[in-house]
Amino acid sequence: MKIYSLIIWALLSSFTFAQNAEAILNKVSANYKAKNSYYIKFKSELENSKTNTKDQYSGEVYVKKEKYNLSVPAMNIQQIYTGKKLYTVNQEIQEVTVTQPEKNSDELFTPTRVLDIYKKGYTLSVEGKEYFQNKDVTKIKLTPTKSGNVKYIIIGVNEKNNNLVYLQEVDLNDTKITISVEKQLSNIIVPYTLLNFDKKFYKNYYISEI
């Protein structure tokens, strides 16, 4: 009977951890959706010890409800999403690509969009806590339910204020991409020009609408 009790305990424990993980991410997702606007400065690091690959860059994003302006200077890339159209500006080749992505499209990049990935296609578990960037961080592990290139995702959150601290993705080749939040401000005034595309600022650019 002892072995059956252990099996039942293990099943109940894993179910409880999954519930706790989902409840934590629900609070974080709701926190960002409730904000009128916010600003995030982030750092992205790519690492693979097998191939001795390492790279990093910084970026920032201004968000107002569904609209956003994402900038990654090291890659000469800027994205402006007006709520309907997505303008991807490549400064190096002076080209603007215009698309109209669906609301849940992978083309869109905001914390609310990123954090919503846990709602479908993953099993969730609380992986414990760690001290990261002078914060107590709760680690939530997302394991894909279907085979693909992603091995797992770790989302680090601050449960005190329900803020995102970092997101880490590990693929089948053990390439690890970590996006960590360096600074964030809430309910700020976002200039109109940041969230709307104006052709007059891109006179010498080739504009391609898909």
2-80+108-188 maps to which CATH number? 2.50.20.10
On the CB side of 85, CA atoms within 13 Å amount to 13
Sketch the domain layout of the chain as residue ranges: 2-80+108-188
Q: Which residue has the tokens 């690492």?
A: 47
**Model confidence at 51, in pLDDT bands (50, 70, 90)?**
confident
Q: Which residue has the tokens 């709602």?
A: 119
How would residue 74 be classed by pLDDT, with cut points 50, 70 and 90?
A: confident
Helix (H) or strand (E) holding 139: strand 135-144
Check: CB of residue 64 under 8 Å from CB of residue 37: yes
52 DSSP 8-state letter: T
Q: Does the pLDDT value for residue 3 go beyond 60?
A: no
- Number of Cβ within 10 Å of residue 9's Cβ equals 10
